Structure 1
Amino acid sequence: MLGVVVWSDAVTAGAVIWCDDHAQLAYLRGRENCQYALTWPQVGDLVQFSVCQNTGTRFARAVRVLAEAVLPQLPKDLVAAASAPLPPARAVPHLRRVG
């Protein structure tokens, strides 16, 4: 699976990944779950990983950084989108029979 890191803390070895399937977020815990433990994923990095589900929570395993700082503004964009008012519903024109 592919994803973008939306939160990261190298000190506690934790990260949150927004997944390309747009389902639940995946949580990365521990350096042992990174393929290259010396390079900790940062916010905005594009990562590849496998998912393990445990008690309804998705955990990222075998995480590998594919590209750094691809979407560093993604967390701010998600917060802005979540707090933006919904657009007004558009009127649907009535259908009419033709022929």
Structure 2
Amino acid sequence: MIGVVLWSDNSAGKAVFWCEDHGDLAYYEEPIVEIGGGSGFDTGDMVQFDISVHRKLRIAGNPRLVQENAGEHLPDALRSDTIPAKALNRTEKSRKTAQIIPFTPKAGQRRLGAAQLKA
């Protein structure tokens, strides 16, 4: 699995990864942490890891750094539900085919219930 580090505490050897399948987050904890040691992952780093499920939690194992700062904007974007202009410009330059336009209902629009659709 590929993911982006959303949070890490290198002194404790812990991290949280956002997974490429947009499923549940994956939690990582180093088996043995030496004082001052740790995984060395920083927020925004892209990592590859093995995944297992334990008590309904996704556990990441054997993480390997793929690219530093690949998703540095991601934690802030998830908090604010927007993408910073720096990341947006980079995304637009790499986009060559599709343009995704978000749907926002107009004021006054309402959804029809199943009974109204049958009529």
TM-score (norm 2): 0.63
Which residue of structure 2 aligns with residue 64 of structure 1? 64
Structure 1 residue ranges (4+ consecutive) displaced by more than 3 angstroms after TM superposition? none
Aligned to 1:87: 104
Equivalent position SS for 1:76: helix
SS in 2 for 1:75: helix
More strand as a share of residues:
1
- Taking only the aligned residue pairs, the percentage that are identical comes to 36
Structure 1 unaligned regions, length at least 5: 92-99
The equivalent residue for 2:94 is none
Q: Displacement, 1:22?
A: 0.5
Q: Which structure's residues are more often helix, by fraction?
A: 2
Taking a change above 3 Å as real, the CA distance of residues 50 and 24 of structure 1, as seen in their structure-2 partners, is: same
The Cα shift of 1:81 comes to 1.1
User: Which residue number in structure 1 is paired with residue 42 of structure 2?
Assistant: 42
Deviations 1:55-82 (A, max 9, x none): 0000100100011011111100001118
Distance 1:27 1:38 in 2: 15
The answer on whether the counterparts of 2:4 and 2:18 sit within 8 Å (CA) in structure 1 is yes
For 2:73 and 2:31, the matched residues in 1 are separated by: 24
What SS does the aligned partner of 2:81 have?
helix
Gaps of 5+ in 2: 83-102, 112-119
| Whole-angstrom distance in 1 between the partners of 2:75 and 2:38 | 24
How far off is 1:39 after superposition?
5.0
How far apart are 1:88 and its partner, in Å? 2.4
Letter in 2 for 1:12: A
